[in-house]
Amino acid sequence: MMPEPVLEEIRDEVMNWNGSGMSVMELSHRSPIFRTIVEDAESALRELMSIPNEYKVLFIQGGGTLQFAMVPWNLMKNGRAVYIDSGIWSKKAADEARKYGEVIIGASEAASNYIRIPDCSKMEIPSDADYVYICENETINGLTWRELPDTKGHPLVSDQSSMFLSEPRDVSKYAMIYAGVQKNVGPSGMVIAIMREDFIPKEVDPKMPVYLSYDTHAKTGSGYNTPNGWSIYCCGKVIHHLIKTGGLAAAAERNAEKAKIVYDFLESSKLFKSPVEPESRSVMNIPFVTGSKDLDAEVGAAAERAGLIGLKGHPSVGGLRASLYNAMPKEGAVALVDFLHSFEKEHGK
Ligand code: PMP
């Protein structure tokens, strides 16, 4: 979802951006006014997240999936990195990274089918490991990190795709944060990467396409080629909206309140339950099950008839899943619980 006031602002500007007589979709990426859109989105993000000066903000096309390759291809200088296996998205990232070097699984919860964030307290990290990689919110499994792992001084790379801008984060604890923007920020197909400057390699595999080198984007202010101007423009609007509505601390409060409504219901329900242990539960993505595949499907279909769209769990795990991204109002969580409550009653529980 996008915040409604932002959609309205975009609607009002779509034919004529800022008196230019042109739509944002028509601006040349080399025109000075287009550069102001990119620079404005970046400076608003710096303000919202208090990004330290020594970090670059990059707008890169290709979505989160391309980062699964760009991260190891650029950053595995010694040829090995530690990945924490906390669910489907970190596993996909590790599988892709194996094409570029040695992947050491520092900790894994595959054996429990990902009911909690892996315990990293005894994790061994080889001294020459280039980085430690986590997926900070496992979108499909519904897990989130409450405390970052101790990387023993190694750079931390975090995929924040499904929790980016949902709560405050101390950027200085990471060497790199990246996020596909489509959950909490703007139209799909783009990633925002926040990278410590000294972590961006100047020399890369000469066979690497120029677009895939982080240095290409860092050197050109994300303007090496024609960028995804529309997405950057919309992201800028959402970032400003977050600043206007109290920043990330206020967003975190709103998100915690929504998630509590759903988790409290699941705790009290006789029909539905969360497969995830309480201390690892995501605030953004809440998977739940009835214990019967047929009944799960019935719930999904009945919910859709009641106007609650997209509750079906990801095809790889089944079940049901409620996503409560930033722009979902509290009323959405309340409507879901009301519906599930009635469904439960109708089924004699
Ligand atoms: N990482 C996470 C945590 C995700 O949730 C997703 C997509 N849902 C991706 C990566 C992949 O992103 P994209 O579809 O933009 O390639």
* Position 348 pLDDT exceeds 80: no
- Whole-number Å distance, alpha carbon 285 to ligand 1 midpoint, is 13
> Where is 32: in which H helix or E strand?
helix 32-49
Q: Which of 85, 130, 145, 159 is catalytic?
A: 159
Helix (H, G, I), strand (E, B) or coil at 313: coil
- Whole-number Å distance, alpha carbon 64 to ligand 1 midpoint, is 5
Is 145 tagged catalytic?
no
CB 246 within 8 A of CB 240: no
What is the pLDDT, as a whole number, of residue 310? 87
User: What percentage of residues in the chain have a pLDDT greater than 90?
Assistant: 93
Strands 80-85 and 102-108: what pairing? Answer: parallel
What value does the mean pLDDT take over residues 33-44?
Answer: 95
- Whole-number Å distance, alpha carbon 76 to ligand 1 midpoint, is 21
Q: Which of 73, 91, 145, 183 is catalytic?
A: 183
Q: Which of 17, 56, 85, 89 is catalytic?
A: 89
What is the pLDDT, as a whole number, of residue 287? 96
What is the pLDDT, as a whole number, of residue 164? 98
Is 56 tagged catalytic?
no
- Residue 176: which residues within 8 A CB-CB, separation 6 or more? 71, 75, 131, 155, 156, 157, 158, 193, 194, 195, 196, 199
* Per-residue CA distances from 273 to 41, 141, 267, 269 (Å): 40, 14, 7, 7
What is the pLDDT, as a whole number, of residue 316? 79
* 109-143 confidence digits (pLDDT tens): 999 999 999 999 999 999 999 999 999 999 999 99
Nearest residue (CA) to ligand 1, atom 4: 161
* Position 29 pLDDT exceeds 90: no
What value does the mean pLDDT take over residues 13-39?
Answer: 92
Closest CA to 326 of 179, 222, 193, 189: 179
What is the pLDDT, as a whole number, of residue 315? 81
Pocket of ligand 1 from Cβ distances under 6 Å: 63-65, 89, 135, 139, 159, 161-162, 180
Atom number of ligand 1 nearest to Cα 65:
16
Atom number of ligand 1 nearest to Cα 182:
15
* 264-292 confidence digits (pLDDT tens): 999 999 999 999 999 999 999 999 999 99
pTM recorded for the entire structure: 0.97
